[in-house]
Amino acid sequence: MPISVGAKAPNFTLKQKTADGLKDVTLSDHAGNEPVVLVFFPSVYTGVCTDEMCDKGGGLAAAMGLGAAVYGISTDSPFAQEAWAKANGITIPLLSDYDHSVVRTYDVEWPSFVGIGPSAARAAVVIGRDGTVKYSEQTPTLGELPDFEKIKAALAGA
């Protein structure tokens, strides 16, 4: 079960690969300023993840248009994330949880991804300006996308 609605969102700092090098992104930097959407996904260079992050369904773009900071999080290295984003035109910031600490803290670790070990589950968490979880979802399978309509609804009150 992912982190509960109403819980205080645990702070974290993760790496993002930018054109200028590695950059730290810290959740608490958004406190009081804007809601945050965390979209956890299992792995770069996979079909469902590519469709999700490339926004084939319009879900992520709509969430981004609601004044929220939106981040994709996987356990891949920031260098693999950057290459994948460039190859696929992915524009949302991708954060590397290479040591799995955030997926464990948010309780969204998938035990075995295609037999190669644990990864992030497919999940979404909306964090309000006050730092509490407003919406939390983990899909039952890795092939299903989060409910972007519910994410948008949660953002309306975040």
User: Active site includes 54?
Assistant: no
CATH of the domain at 150: 3.40.30.10
- Domain range for residue 68? 13-156
Answer yes or no: is 19 within a domain. yes
Answer yes or no: is 1 within a domain. no
Residue range 105-117, pLDDT digits in tens: 999 998 877 777 8
Sole residue written with tokens 């958004």: 30
Residue range 21-64, pLDDT digits in tens: 999 999 999 988 999 999 999 887 665 545 666 654 445 555 55
Structure tokens at 100: 């799995």
Answer yes or no: is 2 within a domain. no
- How many CB atoms sit inside 10 A of residue 21's CB? 9
Residue range 112-137, pLDDT digits in tens: 777 778 889 999 999 999 999 999 99
Answer yes or no: is 8 within a domain. no
Quote the number of domains for the chain.
1
Answer yes or no: is 48 within a domain. yes
Answer yes or no: is 151 within a domain. yes
Quote the mean pLDDT of the chain: 86
Q: Which of 37, 44, 49, 73 is catalytic?
A: 49
From first CA to last CA, the distance across the chain in angstroms is 22
